[in-house]
Amino acid sequence: MSLSRRPARQTHPNRQDFDEAEYFLRHGARMVRLCGLIARSDLPETVEIPTGRPVLFAANHRSFLDIVVALAVFAKLSVACRLQVRADIFDMPIIGRWVRRLRCIPTSRAVREQAKAMSVETLASGSTVAVMPEGRLVPAEDRPNGVGQGRIGISRIAQESGAVVIPVAIYGSDKIWPQGRPIPKLGLFRRRDLIVRLGPPLDFDDPDHQVNVDRLMDTIATMLADIEAEIA
């Protein structure tokens, strides 16, 4: 597998796509600043991108803050990415319009096949897609090893599109914005750690989708454990 390390601004074949990518990256830059204000943020600035292959990012999910973190990370990488987002968010006032403008992909059990088809089509067009394969906010009791159970949809998308999967470990978002709180915790005297790490690309080449997803989630769990050891 040939790899290149970047950031490198994506190019788009038509003006509309270019404008949408610029909107995404511009808002992502604002999220970089926000993360710096509310946390001691440590975000990656380069990523190993396989040449000639679609790229699918896959992250753990602990907090509503994760969409902000994702936008910040992709802005740092200069990658305009379509994020899979819970379908009901699209019906919310203000934020619903925002995620539509960001070209997020709505996903839920009811629209699972449509979300998969849209993701495969996006990857085939040369754009990247980001997925949180746990499919929900995972409370601490449901992630004894750091992550929850991954769902096989990401393996189906990867195999149908020929994409490689880049594991993403998000650490600390749940400490800043825990489940059940209407707004994040803002530490006035001590900002909490917000750390994101990217792993090496994975090929989902096993015919058993669950095997592929389990390997991905084990990889993210190991990355999270490494972060905890690093800051201990």
With a cut of 50, list the residues of the chain below it in pLDDT: 1-2, 6-16
> CA 193: distance to chain centroid?
18
pLDDT of residue 142: 96
Work out the number of other CB atoms within 10 angstroms of the CB of residue 57. 23
Strand partners, 195: 42, 171
Q: Tell me the CB-side half-sphere exposure of residue 26, using CA atoms within 13 A.
A: 9
User: Distances from the Cα of 187 to the Cαs of 41, 100, 176, in angstroms?
Assistant: 13, 31, 8
Distance of CA 201 to the CA centre of its chain: 14
Output the CA torsion sign for 128, 134, 140, 145: negative
8's torsion region: left (phi>0), alpha (psi -120 to 50) or beta? beta
Beta-bridge partners for 3? 50
Both tokens of 132, joined, read: 């949180």
Q: What is the CA radius of gyration of the chain?
A: 17
pTM of the model: 0.90
Q: CB-based contacts of 33: which residues, under 8 Å, 6+ apart?
A: none
Cα distance between residue 123 and residue 120, in whole Å? 5
Looking at residue 184, its pLDDT comes to: 84
Structure tokens at 47: 């990523």
Q: Can you tell me the distance from the alpha carbon of 44 to that of 5, in angstroms, rounded to the nearest whole number?
A: 12
Predicted pLDDT at 15: 46
- In 3-state terms, the chain is what percent helix, strand and coil (to 5)? 45, 20, 35
- Boundaries of every domain in the chain: 30-231
| DSSP states of 79-137 | --EEEEEEGGGGGSTTHHHHHHHTT-EEE-STTHHHHHHHHHHHHHTT-EEEE-TT-S-
Antiparallel, parallel or unpaired: β 39-42 and 192-198: parallel
How high is the pLDDT of residue 18? 59
Which pLDDT tens digit goes with each residue over 73-116? 999 999 999 999 999 999 999 999 999 999 999 999 999 999 99
Specify the pLDDT at position 103: 93
Q: What pLDDT sits at residue 50?
A: 78
CATH class of 30-231: alpha beta
Q: Is the distance from CB of 142 to CB of 193 less than 8 angstroms? A: no
